[in-house]
Homo-oligomer: A and B are copies of this chain.
């Protein structure tokens, strides 16, 4: 058995923490999981995480050269988790320091979308690219911008919040306290809001009218059955996404935009209207040059691979 330089990728979610040993080729060799919840003391959590990692990989510990962590509000520069609303630890948590002490390996942390961007660049759809935008369309909308082969962290480590660019001036109320953020239209919750509005505004018959609870999944299912209203919902969502992407392109001129997350799995239903709207709204010098592509990584692997790829 040859000695490979391995990475440990740790993905801290609100509910669970997943971790895995990743090969240089982007294969998860072995993985494990502990709950994130239930450790009000961060030291108890670090200790549990350390033990769980040792349990599955004590034989590979020597080969692990570095540890990457994807965490909500994870700040690359400080190594801290800063005021994460969905974690039990309040304020500023010096996570990288704590993990370095426990594991005695170098630790880098970042947020989920940035980690996903690094994962795509090292192992996925952005392999070999130096300029691209990673967009995660989940419950919220996250993004990671890569330019000159490096993630743009910005002055304070908080760059890449495309989900909170104002897509519609004075538009929908956003959880951030402002109005019209991209996230309020193109996240899983955003598309449900669009459905609720369209059901009132548009006098079109729809399968969705019979549903007690509309979800992004039920809108997708309806659209796949050719439901006219559901198709219009996707068209509207893609139109707004394309408009906002066209503006983002004018800033970083990427080779590609990679879509990931629940909504991206709707395939052509979201890709086609987004591409159409983006092309319509692009400045001429960018037209026809920007690839819009789905993530090339398995949904279940992205978080760990991305974390392991943070350099």
User: Chain B residues with Cβ under 8 A from A253's Cβ?
Assistant: 152-161
Give the docked Cα–Cα distance between A224 and B283 (Å): 36
A158 to B252 CA separation, bound complex (whole angstroms): 8
Q: Are B164 and A252 interface neighbours, CB within 8 A? A: no
| A251 and B145 in contact, given A166-B243, A169-B243 (Cβ under 8 angstroms) | yes
**A103 at the A/B interface (Cβ < 8 Å)?**
no
A161-B130 contact, Cβ under 8 Å, with A251-B252, A253-B156: no
Is A283 a contact partner of B164 (Cβ separation < 8 A)?
A: yes
Give chain B residues whose Cβ lies under 8 Å from the Cβ of A164. 250, 283
| Stretch touching chain B among A34-42, A187-195, A211-219, A284-292 | A284-292
- A298 and B260 CA atoms in complex are apart in Å by 46
Q: Contact at A147–B159, with CB atoms within 8 Å? A: yes
- Main DSSP-derived SS at the A contact region: loop
A86 to chain B, nearest CB (A): 16
Apart from A130-B155, A131-B155, A152-B253: 19 A-B pairs, beta carbons within 8 A? A131-B159, A147-B147, A147-B150, A147-B154, A147-B159, A148-B152, A150-B150, A152-B252, A155-B254, A155-B289, A156-B253, A156-B289, A158-B285, A160-B253, A165-B247, A166-B246, A168-B169, A178-B283, A248-B251
Q: How often does this chain occur in the complex, in copies?
A: 2
Q: Is A255 among interface residues, defined by CB-CB distance under 8 A?
A: yes
| A: number of interface residues (CB 8 Å) | 42
A interface residues with partner B (beta carbon < 8 Å)? 129-131, 145, 147-148, 150, 152-162, 164-166, 168-169, 176-178, 243, 246-248, 250-255, 281, 283-286, 289
Complex Cα spacing A165 to B253, Å:
12
Q: Which of B148, B177, B178, B252 contacts A148 (CB 8 A)?
A: B148
A177 to B242, CA, bound (A): 18
| Minimum CB–CB distance for A95 against chain B, Å | 18
Question: A247–B159 Cα gap in the complex (Å)?
Answer: 11
